[in-house]
A = this chain, B = another copy of it.
């Protein structure tokens, strides 16, 4: 039942965007709006469920794409596949992407449940770096981390990818942020009337970032 509600809500999300109407969802299900409150305490609750689903769907798509790569030792190739998987999922589910990576709604605060689902995709990226580090394909980065920043990076990698040097971990966050930035830039319309060869452009960016990270 809740899955059916979420399915209909997802359909509405795809057409109407983030301003999801509970009444419209109920109408589509032949119910009255108050009936939905048996399954979701509020509209925000429904949105939270959709957000967690979206994080998991993206994470699953990326995990599947990386797992399908035969040559596990081709770390640069795996990174490119990962980036493309993120973008493909975003292009296929723009509303859900905007839900999790777009501007947050004012009063809304993401519950702790979301973080584990949100971590799946960056986890895959860090996994590639961990594997690549073992194969010494990842070069040592040339940049300097300020002390406070180094402490943050060390603490974060301790919790997520203990075997990664903080400098490599930091470069991984840059890669993740740029993938997010590039997809958002395209999806939110900032590329309109400027760049048409979007597949090529995204790949170009991935290669540049791979170089920056040291995935040669």
Contact = CB atoms under 8 A, between A and B. Distances in A.
Contact of A205 (B106, B110, B177): B177
The quantity of this chain's copies bound in the complex is 2
Nearest to A105: B17
Given A17-B107, A101-B103, A177-B185, 7 more contacts: A19-B19, A19-B106, A144-B204, A145-B204, A146-B203, A180-B190, A184-B184
Interface of A: 15-19, 98, 101-107, 110, 115, 142-146, 148-149, 151-153, 156, 170-171, 173-174, 177-178, 180-182, 184-185, 188-190, 193-197, 200-201, 203-205, 207-208, 211-212
B103 A103 contact: yes
Contacts of A189: 104, 110
Interface of chain A, main secondary structure: helix
Contact of A106 (B17, B145, B203, B211): B17
21 contacts: A17-B103, A18-B106, A19-B106, A101-B188, A102-B188, A103-B188, A104-B188, A146-B203, A148-B196, A148-B197, A149-B200, A149-B204, A152-B195, A156-B194, A156-B195, A171-B208, A174-B208, A181-B181, A181-B182, A181-B184, A211-B212
B102 A103 contact: yes
B104 A143 contact: no
A162 to B, nearest CB: 16
Contact of A146 (B16, B143, B181, B197): B197
Tell which of A115, A142, A195 has the most Cβ of chain B within 10 Å.
A195
A200 to B, nearest CB: 4
A104 B191 CA distance: 13
